[in-house]
Homo-oligomer: A and B are copies of this chain.
Amino acid sequence: MLRQTGPVANPPAGGCPPTTRRPSPIAPVPRPARATRRPTLADVAAAAGVSASTASLAFSGAGPVAVATRERVLAAARGLGYAGPDPTAASLRRGRSGVVGVVVGERLRDAFRDPYVATLLDGVVDALAGEGLAILLLPMTHDLSGAPAEQYRTAAMDAVVFATGGLPDDPALAVVRDRGVPVVSIEGPDVPGASLVRVDDRTGSREAAEHLLALGHERVAVVTMPWRLDGHEGALGSRRRRLRGFADCTARLAGVEDALRPVAVHECATNAVEHGRRAAHAVLADPAGPAGRGRPTAVVAQSDVLAAGVVQACGELGLAVPGDVSVVGFDGVDLPWLRPHALTTLVQPVADKARATADAVLGRLGGGEPTDVTLPVHLRTGTTTGPAPGR
Chain A residues engaging chain B, CB cutoff 8 angstroms = 1-18, 22-30, 38, 81, 83-84, 86-92, 94-99, 102, 107-110, 112-113, 115, 117-119, 121-122, 125-126, 129-139, 147-148, 150-151, 153-158, 175, 178-180, 190, 195-198, 200, 272-274, 277, 308-309, 312, 316, 336-339, 349, 352, 355-356, 359-363, 365-376
Contacts and interface: CB of A to CB of B under 8 A. Distances in A.
Contact of A312 (B18, B155, B337): B337
Contacts of A81: 178
A373 B4 contact: yes
Contacts of A84: 153-154, 179
B94 A28 contact: yes
7 contacts: A16-B360, A17-B359, A25-B361, A28-B94, A28-B95, A88-B91, A112-B117
B139 A16 contact: no
Nearest to A356: B16
A1 B375 contact: yes
Which 6 A-B pairs rank lowest in CB-CB distance, beginning with the nearest? A6-B374, A15-B371, A16-B359, A112-B118, A109-B122, A112-B112
A134 B308 CA distance: 34
A252 B130 CA distance: 35
A133 to B, nearest CB: 6
A366 B23 contact: yes
Contacts of A8: 372
A132 B180 CA distance: 21
Contact of A135 (B97, B122, B137, B365): B137
